[in-house]
Structure 1
Amino acid sequence: MRIGTVLAAFMLSTAAAPAVADIYGYIDAEGIAHFSTERVDERYQLFVRGDVPFDSSRLGAGPAPAPASPLASYLASHPGLKKVENLLHETADEFALDPALLKAVMAAESAFNPRAVSPKGAIGLMQIMPATAERYGLQGDRRRSLEQKLTDPKINIRLAARYLRDLHRLFPTQPELVIASYNAGEGAVQKHNNRIPPYPETRNYVQVVKQFYQLYKPAANALAVALQHDGPAPRRIRMTLPGRRNMPETMEATHD
């Protein structure tokens, strides 16, 4: 069963789930798209309302509502995403995952930057920790260190997909715990009695991934062309999550 199928079912029941967070955003003069689960200042405008029902199973039943800003188009057609889209779909099929979930995690984790490095040392598109990579058998060699290998999109995405698949097996009917575990580790979720840990970053991360998941479902993707905006396309994304000091830093420039 795909994680996305379970995620859709979960969204129909909010009994044990925290309130869904609003997401705010804006594109600055340098073409950088900023997103946050809080309105940090007056530049941030409401991007996605958190109280809108999130039933992904209905997204294909009719036209999706057009977002009110070009940020949706940016996320749906980001050049970094386009470079790995085929790889994402191939990997999703291999590990029985929903490609929309992989895209949502990638957007929240690295903003599509394959050379992103977090303050804690997570690397690449899906922000894999070296220790997690070692758990799955990845090792450095004479040609490339483990850290360098994690900047390879194929290696990085496949490791993330294997981890998400295993988390889904651990929490087969609780996709919100799969997402929380990806952020905080399954140990933290288990420590808190198989509930989302009370960490501001993790709680907001779960909401952001769920909202981005909705955006990346096929019905929403069909709007990408219609939502193109005038002016130069944004080049980068910055995500602000309460509890997280900042988005991963880059090891080197990845955009022309």
Structure 2
Amino acid sequence: MLLALVPIAARADVWGYVDDKGVAHFATERIDERYELFFKSGENFNTADGVSARIETPRAVAVPTAPPKLLAFFDVSPSYKSVKHLLREAAMQHEIDYELLQALIATESGFDATAVSPRGAVGLMQVMPATAERYGVSSDKKTPVEKKLADPRTNIRTGSRYLRDLIRRFPGQLDLALAAYNAGEGAVQRAGNKIPNYRETQNYVKTVMQLYTVLKPPATVAEIRQPGRVRMEMPTGRIPGGVTGGAVGRGNMVPSLTQGPRTVATPEP
């Protein structure tokens, strides 16, 4: 079970390191020489080497890609915390893995609800206005579709419904469902029901799948809680920046990409 880290001020720096027992330690100041800058106040989490080696995602993302950093992101990120109840709701309603939604949104927008792509995709799940209209989100006299999609609840509901329909359209082929989410169903069909030969789409699918496998440990490992997992701890006592107390985090056992991730809803990690 994941124990949330104690709250960290939204604009505080976070320093950390992973010890030889696989415990990731975090603080709002550099306690000693072992600590490296995890992320700086007012900036995105960076994926520079430090704390531990990152996984190589083919597509640049606005979240950390080192496994312990990625897991810690979801403990300390205010933008994620503000919408995780919406992810839980969508995962249960549409029978999509919670961790899959996490990975997709991390790749699409880095949990920036105000993100707008050059092509006009809006919000957390980067939903196109035309797609939203297919699912009943339309402009009215006061509010255009684009503004409605900037609302996290509307965006996640719409994007999750679209993803659910794509998963059903390509049963047992999550990679094709993700490719269709990125490039459109038509592009996948024209490619002979394969991932289209677009570098952007191929990188997108690989990135979402890699983040997904980090976020979702195999069920058997989660149940028996084998040793070797990464834990996260905060120093005890009050330190500058307002952090108090201590906590431990979740397991981090990464399944093989060849196992084929499931698409059944799971409780919040």
Tell me if structure 2 keeps the 8 A contact 1:123–1:129: yes
Alignment deviations for residues 99-156 of structure 1 (CA, whole Å, 9 cap, x no partner): 1111111100011111110011000000000111111121111231111000011110
Amino acid at match of 2:134: R
Give the TM-score normalised by structure 2.
0.60
Identity of aligned residues (%): 43
Q: Give the unaligned 5+ runs of structure 2.
A: 1-37, 58-65, 242-269
Task: Indicate the residue corresponding to 1:112 in structure 2.
Answer: 111
Task: Indicate the residue corresponding to 2:195 in structure 1.
Answer: 196
Tell me if structure 1 keeps the 8 A contact 2:68–2:230: no
Task: Indicate the residue corresponding to 1:96 in structure 2.
Answer: 95
Give the Cα–Cα distance (whole angstroms) in 2 for the partners of residues 70 and 169 of structure 1: 32
Task: Indicate the residue corresponding to 1:172 in structure 2.
Answer: 171
Give the TM-score normalised by structure 1.
0.63
Give the Cα–Cα distance (whole angstroms) in 2 for the partners of residues 218 and 83 of structure 1: 24
Task: Indicate the residue corresponding to 1:186 in structure 2.
Answer: 185
Quote the offset at 1:72 in angstroms.
Answer: 4.1
Structural RMSD (CA): 3.1
Tell me if structure 2 keeps the 8 A contact 1:130–1:146: yes
Tell me if structure 2 keeps the 8 A contact 1:70–1:228: no
Quote the offset at 1:91 in angstroms.
Answer: 1.1
The question of 1:159 aligning with 2:158 is answered: yes
Alpha-carbon spacing, 1:116–1:49, altered in 2? closer, same or farther (3 Å): closer
Quote the offset at 1:161 in angstroms.
Answer: 0.9
Task: Indicate the residue corresponding to 2:14 in structure 1.
Answer: none
Alpha-carbon spacing, 1:218–1:69, altered in 2? closer, same or farther (3 Å): closer
Amino acid at match of 2:163: L
Alpha-carbon spacing, 1:68–1:103, altered in 2? closer, same or farther (3 Å): closer
Give the Cα–Cα distance (whole angstroms) in 2 for the partners of residues 211 and 184 of structure 1: 19
Quote the offset at 1:33 in angstroms.
Answer: 2.4
Quote the offset at 1:30 in angstroms.
Answer: 5.7
Give the Cα–Cα distance (whole angstroms) in 2 for the partners of residues 68 and 93 of structure 1: 25
Task: Provide the aligned length of Structure 1 versus Structure 2.
Answer: 184
Quote the offset at 1:186 in angstroms.
Answer: 1.0
Matches within 5 A, 1:225-244: 226=232
Matches within 5 A, 1:1-16: none
Q: Give the unaligned 5+ runs of structure 1.
A: 1-25, 36-42, 51-66, 233-256
**Bigger CA radius of gyration:** 2
Quote the offset at 1:75 in angstroms.
Answer: 4.6
Alpha-carbon spacing, 1:143–1:205, altered in 2? closer, same or farther (3 Å): same
Give the Cα–Cα distance (whole angstroms) in 2 for the partners of residues 231 and 75 of structure 1: 22
